[in-house]
Amino acid sequence: MNDELRRNMPLFPIGIVTKLTELTPRQIRYYEQQGLISPERTKGNQRLFSFNDVDRLLQIKSYLEKGINIAGIREMLKQSQQVLEAKQEAETVKKELSERDLRRMLKQQIIHPNKRGQIPLNHGELSRFFRH
DNA sequence: TTTCTTACA
DNA sequence: TGTAAGAA
């Protein structure tokens, strides 16, 4: 969960990226202009690319070699991004459901505490709550 | 030295 | 997309 943060860290100047991807600076700048990548900038206005940027450039390169145009690639990236957003949304929903279950169980404890003051949960409820 | 922007015999 | 020029 911390990996994404690292993968998005602005790390390499364009010179390194040209060696990593075998793309020319001209091509890389053009792809940025076309909205395919959005590298950060230093205070001196120099581009800094992240691991994700490099990966994306490699994807762009392979798509181009397969004959897909810029517009097509823009759509591909757009869709793959939507897939990621959908997955994140699914995770969010799961967590919200878990919290709702927790509130329900705590409410049960308050309304129907047992003699020993233990949380009235059985094994099934616990495993269901802590799953994931 | 490297990178940036802009322009095009 | 390549390349040149001038600035940072």
pLDDT (tens digit, 9 = 90+) per residue, A69-85?
Answer: 999 999 999 999 999 99
Q: What is the value of pTM for the model shown?
A: 0.73
Distance between CA atoms of residues A77 and A67, nearest Å: 16
Establish whether the CB of A33 is closer than 7 Å to any nucleic acid atom in strand B.
Answer: no
Q: What angle do CA A118, A120, A121 make, to 5 degrees?
A: 115
Nucleotide nearest to A47 (CA to C1'): B3
Tokens at A113, concatenated? 């505490």
* pLDDT at residue number A132: 47
Nearest nucleotide to A23 by CA–C1' distance? C1
CB proximity A38–strand B (7 Å threshold): no
Q: Which residues of A76-95 are buried (b: 16+ CB within 10 A; e: fewer)?
A: ebeeeeeeeeeeeeeeeeee
